[in-house]
Structure 1
Amino acid sequence: MSHIRPLVPLLITAGILIGGNGLQGTFISLRASHEGFSTSLIGLVGAGYNIGFAVGCIYVTRVLRAIGHIRTFSAMAAIASASAIAMLLVIDPTFWFFMRLLAGLCFACLFATVESWLNASVTNANRARTLSLYRLVDLGSVTAAQYLIPGVGIGGFQLFAIVSMALSLSLVPISLADRSAPVAPEAIRFDVKKLWNISPLATIGCIVVGLTNAAFRSLGPIYGEQIGLSVTEIASFMSAGIIGGVVLQYPLGLYSDRFDRRVIILVATLGATLAALFLAIFAGGDEWMNLAGIFVFGAFAMPLYSLCSAHANDHAGEGEHALVSAGMLFFWSIGAIIGPLFASVLLDIFGPDAMFIYTAVIMVMFMAYTVLRMGARPGVPAEQRHGRFRNLLRTSAFFNKLAGAERNGKGPDGGR
């Protein structure tokens, strides 16, 4: 435990940030509906966050190199905290769009700062434990945060204040405990053409995950509300999808290490498609059927990002893994911008079942493309792959680096 103790402040900070972000994402959708925003406007507000997140992914390394970790974290936490309170002061969809865009930019920088800091602080002796604790912090904080919504209520100022307080308090652990700032990471240049040439399937796959999973995260609360779930039931519905995403990560990853990853991607996509169709056709307003359906959907849909990223890394050459990590997150962000917008329009026109019909259609198209790519070039034999499957969080490219270093038995810079 002596190896882990210096990292506890960073893990506490990460827990506060991840929990606050998960709370805000669900709460803002429900509060927007409470304020009379149309479903399409709620989708636009959700897309605003992902636009900001995509911009943050591109520029965060430049900011870290320019002003360092401590100043970056302090500035972004303060801005994100102010944006949460500002949404309470001005109830307007256009204003909320820009505040969520600002929040997305800040959270991209905040997650990257924390995970870059962790990368610089871990050693081979504590890497696996740190990674396990970080994943536990992510799951626990996001799940617990959902139940603050029914406990506090969506109509007052309290949840805005709680989010703002959480972001402000996230400064405390690292401010009191840290004695040194890590070296700024190397800048990562985006090369879209190069990423596409490395793996067209992984590129499309990450966009598909953004199109579908981000629509669930942004509009899942509205779906639940429209089918008649209570606020507590909506919190359980969102939590079930998140928890489900953990269940099949490692079984699917294990099989993808042994066989052609594209076959496992097909299996996961098929499972997600069937779960989405079950939710759209059979679940109706039944709480338990919706919980079961979204649990299975999360179990198959959530690992797709990690599977696609692993497939891209199989084809990456020497020195290209950092580009792949950042690029896959960026392409996910692109899909996450479009997904909530398009799905929200469908919900407005056709009702709540349209969200999972939309998801199923996107997944079927991705399955067809996967089969097409399987005929275009052979799979990479297991012995020629650059690494094994890694369970990744879509927080920053530095998490991929942390997980990759653990898998490869190298230091935080991949042994270089």
Structure 2
Amino acid sequence: MSQIRPLIPLLVTAGILIGGNGLQGTFISLRALDEGFSTSLIGVVGAGYNIGFAIGCIYVTRILRAIGHIRTFSAMAAIASAAAISMVLIIDPWFWFLMRLVAGICFASLFATVESWLNASVTNANRGRTLSVYRLVDLGSVTAAQYAIPGIGIGGFELFAIISMALTLSLVPISFADRSSPVTPEAIRFDVKTLWNISPLATIGCIVVGLTNAAFRSLGPIYAQEIGLSVTAIATFMSAGIIGGVVLQYPLGYYSDRIDRRLIILLATFGSLLAGLFLAFGAGSDEWLNFAGIFAFGAFAMPLFSLCSAQANDHAAEGQHALVSAGMLFFWSLGAIIGPLFASFLLEIFAPQVLFIYTAAILGAFMLYTLLRMTARKPVPTEERSMRFRNLLRTSSFFNKLAGGHARKEP
């Protein structure tokens, strides 16, 4: 515990940021619907965040190198706080799109700053415990934050104010952290052609995860409300998908380290496809069936990003792992921009179940592509893989380093 104690301010800050971000994502969708925004415009607003996130992924390293961790965090937290509170002052979908874009840039930068700082502070002795605490912080803060919505209600200014206050208060614990600023990270040059050559399957896979999972995170509340769930049930529905994402991470990762990783990717894709079809055609408006369906969807769909990143790292050469980490997150962002937009247009035309028909169609196409790639390229033998599977958060490319992102041979 004494080794973790100096990191507590950073972990508390991370919890505030992750919880505030999770709350904002669900709340904005529900509040936009309450304000009379069309489903397609809600998709546009959701895409705004992911556009900003992609921009932040590209430029955050340059910002950190230019002004350092403390100034980057302070500036981005202040801007994100102002963007959150301004949305209650101007109720307009295009203004909200702009503010969510700004929020995306800020959160990509905030997560990168905290995780870069944590990475510089951990040692091999406390890395495992720090990661365990960090993942608990992630799961606990996002899940708990969902229940602020039924507790306070989606009307009024209160939740906007709470989100803004949380972002402002995130400055407090980090201000009490070690006053030394860590060494600024090296710049990473994006090379799309190199990333594609490393692993076409992983590249497409991360885009697919963005297309499907981001659509669920942005439009899941809309689906839940339109099938008649209460606000409390909507919070539970979203939380069930998040909690489900934890259940199969390690079993799938364990077996992916021991057999052809593409078989596990295929299994996870098939499982999430079946769960999507169940939600579309079997769950109806039954509350508990929807909870079970989205739990299963999260259990299979959420590990796909980590599995695809591991697949890319299997083929990465020495010195390419930082590029893979940043690149996979960037490709996820591209899919996450398109997914909510396209799915929202479908939701405006068809019944709410079309959200999971859409995800099933994308996942089915990815299964076919995975089978095609399995015939085109031999698997990397387990003894030649430079990295094991790691449960990655889609917060910043620095999480890969925090999880022990340096190349290492299997013992």
Does the alignment reach a TM-score above 0.5? yes
Quickly say closer, same or farther: Cα 1:257–1:379, change in 2 above 3 A.
Answer: same
**Is the Cα contact below 8 Å between 2:321 and 2:407 reproduced in 1?**
no
Give the aligned residue type for 1:77: A
Give the aligned residue type for 2:47: A
The structural deviation recorded for 1:265 is 0.3
Q: What is aligned with 1:366?
A: 366
Map of 1:5-84 to 2, 5 A cutoff? 5-84=5-84
Unaligned runs of 5+ in 1: 410-416
**Is the Cα contact below 8 Å between 2:24 and 2:163 reproduced in 1?**
yes
Corresponding position: 1:167 with 2:167: yes
Q: What is aligned with 2:101?
A: 101
Corresponding position: 1:188 with 2:149: no
- Residue by residue over 1:265-300, the C-alpha shift from the partner in whole angstroms, topping out at 9 and shown as x without a partner, is 000000000000000001111000000000000000
TM-score, normalised with respect to structure 2: 0.99
The structural deviation recorded for 1:404 is 2.7
Q: What is aligned with 1:90?
A: 90
Give the aligned residue type for 1:103: A
- Alpha-carbon distance between aligned partners in 2 of 1:404 and 1:271, rounded to the nearest angstrom: 29
- Alpha-carbon distance between aligned partners in 1 of 2:93 and 2:179, rounded to the nearest angstrom: 42
Give the aligned residue type for 2:197: N
- Alpha-carbon distance between aligned partners in 2 of 1:354 and 1:174, rounded to the nearest angstrom: 43
Q: What is aligned with 2:132?
A: 132
Corresponding position: 1:260 with 2:260: yes
The structural deviation recorded for 1:387 is 1.0
Corresponding position: 1:399 with 2:399: yes
- Alpha-carbon distance between aligned partners in 2 of 1:406 and 1:366, rounded to the nearest angstrom: 29
Give the aligned residue type for 2:296: V
Q: What is aligned with 1:412?
A: none
Q: What is aligned with 2:226?
A: 226
The structural deviation recorded for 1:45 is 0.1
**Is the Cα contact below 8 Å between 2:321 and 2:405 reproduced in 1?**
no
- Residue by residue over 1:175-199, the C-alpha shift from the partner in whole angstroms, topping out at 9 and shown as x without a partner, is 1232210010000010000000000
**Is the Cα contact below 8 Å between 2:23 and 2:145 reproduced in 1?**
yes
Q: What is aligned with 1:413?
A: none
- Alpha-carbon distance between aligned partners in 2 of 1:379 and 1:72, rounded to the nearest angstrom: 41
The structural deviation recorded for 1:401 is 1.1
- Alpha-carbon distance between aligned partners in 1 of 2:405 and 2:3, rounded to the nearest angstrom: 17
- Alpha-carbon distance between aligned partners in 2 of 1:43 and 1:354, rounded to the nearest angstrom: 14
- Alpha-carbon distance between aligned partners in 2 of 1:383 and 1:151, rounded to the nearest angstrom: 52
The structural deviation recorded for 1:408 is 4.6
- Alpha-carbon distance between aligned partners in 1 of 2:206 and 2:264, rounded to the nearest angstrom: 15
- Alpha-carbon distance between aligned partners in 2 of 1:405 and 1:2, rounded to the nearest angstrom: 24
- Alpha-carbon distance between aligned partners in 1 of 2:7 and 2:177, rounded to the nearest angstrom: 9
Q: What is aligned with 2:276?
A: 276
Quickly say closer, same or farther: Cα 1:235–1:26, change in 2 above 3 A.
Answer: same
- Alpha-carbon distance between aligned partners in 1 of 2:404 and 2:261, rounded to the nearest angstrom: 17
Give the aligned residue type for 1:62: R
**Is the Cα contact below 8 Å between 2:303 and 2:391 reproduced in 1?**
yes
Aligned length: 410
- After superposition, the CA RMSD in angstroms is 1.1
**Is the Cα contact below 8 Å between 2:22 and 2:145 reproduced in 1?**
yes
The structural deviation recorded for 1:127 is 0.5
**Is the Cα contact below 8 Å between 1:388 and 1:407 reproduced in 2?**
no
- Alpha-carbon distance between aligned partners in 2 of 1:341 and 1:127, rounded to the nearest angstrom: 38
Structure 1 outlier segments of 4+, above 2 Å: 404-409
SS in 2 for 1:142: helix
Unaligned runs of 5+ in 2: none
**Is the Cα contact below 8 Å between 2:27 and 2:149 reproduced in 1?**
yes
TM-score, normalised with respect to structure 1: 0.98
